[in-house]
């Protein structure tokens, strides 16, 4: 019997409050650079770094993400973090998705390089790096010394599982978008038109 080729799957977790072109550019660049068959977007339930902040209800963030990715046949979405409830940790996200994916799946978790600098503060960082390779997305010219200095022995142990992916800088942040929306400023061409329409229809983020 012929050996079944291992599927290469990207996981992109995030608050997506709201999702924007920066997220989509990073996901597509990772898909192409690492020959990923598909990318699964996973909107967080309650992000651990935003427990004290007001976050848009998960149902809205899920639907905005769905609207943003539906035109790309390689993109899909999962509700595992939302359905689990409670604070969302990457180790739990990966554990739940592992149960749904074929046993020989090669998993790549896509995140920003700055997030990798904070990985020692994550829940069970050693276990996380044993479950998936990490694609650290950054702008061109990123200095790898930052990672090695910040993570020390941890980086030496897991450097084979951490890959730097340089993408053209997209100067968009969800924080800035929320500010623009509250002030009634335009967000067109910063996030998909379907998401802009959804935000308008639901009255999300308010207007100044």
CB 108 within 8 A of CB 9: yes
Residue range 107-126: mean pLDDT, rounded: 93
CA distances to 22, 76, 180, 181, 199 from 170, rounded to whole Å, are 6, 22, 17, 19, 21
Res 197 pLDDT > 60:
yes
| Angle formed by the axes of helices 193-202 and 58-69, nearest 10° | 150
Distance CA 183, CA 162 (A): 39
Res 121 pLDDT > 80:
yes
Q: How far apart are the first and last CA of the chain?
A: 64
Res 1 pLDDT > 60:
no
40, 42, 20: which is closest to 30 by C-alpha?
40
Res 208 pLDDT > 80:
no
Q: Which of 19-33, 68-82, 139-153 has the lowest mean pLDDT?
A: 139-153
Res 190 pLDDT > 70:
yes
| Sign of the Cα pseudo-torsion (110, 111, 117, 119, in order) | negative
Please, what is the average pLDDT of the chain? 92
Distance CA 38, CA 36 (A): 5
- Domains in the chain with CATH codes: 8-171 (3.40.50.620)
Res 2 pLDDT > 60:
no
Q: What local confidence, expressed as pLDDT, does residue 4 receive? A: 66
146-187 pLDDT tens trace: 888 999 999 999 999 999 999 988 889 999 999 999 999 999
pTM listed for this prediction:
0.93
Residue range 107-116: mean pLDDT, rounded: 93
Q: What local confidence, expressed as pLDDT, does residue 164 receive? A: 92
Q: What local confidence, expressed as pLDDT, does residue 207 receive? A: 57
CB 94 within 8 A of CB 109: yes
């Amino acid at each position: 019997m012929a050996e079944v080729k291992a599927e290469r799957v990207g996981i992109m977790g995030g608050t997506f409050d709201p999702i924007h072109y920066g997220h989509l550019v990073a996901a597509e660049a990772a898909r192409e650079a690492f020959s990923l068959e598909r990318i699964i977007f996973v909107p967080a339930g309650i992000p651990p770094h935003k427990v004290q902040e007001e976050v848009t209800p998960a149902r809205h963030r899920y639907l905005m993400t769905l609207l943003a990715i539906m035109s790309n046949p390689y993109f899909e979405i999962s509700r595992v973090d939302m359905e689990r409830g409670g604070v969302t940790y990457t180790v739990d996200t990966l554990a739940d998705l592992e149960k749904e994916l074929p046993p020989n799946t090669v998993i790549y978790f896509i995140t920003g390089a700055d997030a990798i600098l904070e990985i020692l503060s994550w829940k069970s960082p050693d276990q996380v790096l044993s479950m998936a390779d990490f694609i650290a997305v950054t702008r061109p010219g990123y200095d790898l010394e930052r990672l090695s200095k910040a993570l020390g022995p941890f980086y030496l142990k897991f450097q084979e599982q951490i890959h730097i992916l340089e993408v053209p800088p997209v100067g968009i942040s969800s924080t800035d978008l929320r500010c623009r929306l509250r002030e009634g400023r335009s967000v067109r061409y910063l996030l998909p038109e379907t998401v802009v329409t959804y935000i308008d229809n639901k009255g999300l983020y308010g207007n100044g």
